[in-house]
């Protein structure tokens, strides 16, 4: 199945959102248990294999965090950034959970929850809506 963001008439059925979402959460749980922040959870980095299971790709932004240290790097895709990243505050694995919420919203509604005509508007919406 081919799915395109920003087409509200092409949302996934709830059962598929739950199925894919549960696989993504299990993957994030595994990464986090190994002290890895994924940082770039987005539709473009999710592949579905021939059996219908999720595969995360592109670990280029991922980072291993030692001793539960916090991060302060401004990295990721603007539509999926957590408020902590936008504010340039310290954060941990929770940034992946924020991105997961954005991803589920997009799969369910066909559009991102925080949009704008430029990065500033998107960041303002993430912080204030």
Catalytic: 96? no
Active-site entry in 9, 40, 51, 119 = 40
In order, the DSSP letters of 2-53 are ---TT-GGGPPPHHHHHHHHHHHHHHHHHHHHTTEE----SGGGEEE-TTS-
d(CA 51, CA 87): 40
Q: What positions carry a catalytic annotation?
A: 40
């Amino acid at each position: 199945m081919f799915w395109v963001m920003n087409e509200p008439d092409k949302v996934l059925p709830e059962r598929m959102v739950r199925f894919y979402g549960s696989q993504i959460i299990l993957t994030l749980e595994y990464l986090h248990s190994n002290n890895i922040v994924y940082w770039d959870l987005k539709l473009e980095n999710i592949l579905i294999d021939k059996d219908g299971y999720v595969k995360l790709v592109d670990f280029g932004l991922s980072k291993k965090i030692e001793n539960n240290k916090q991060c302060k790097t401004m990295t990721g895709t603007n539509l999926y950034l957590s408020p902590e990243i936008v504010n340039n505050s310290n954060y941990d694995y929770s940034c992946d959970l924020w991105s997961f919420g954005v991803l589920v919203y997009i799969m369910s509604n066909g559009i991102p929850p925080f949009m704008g005509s430029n990065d500033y508007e998107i960041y303002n919406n993430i912080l204030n809506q």
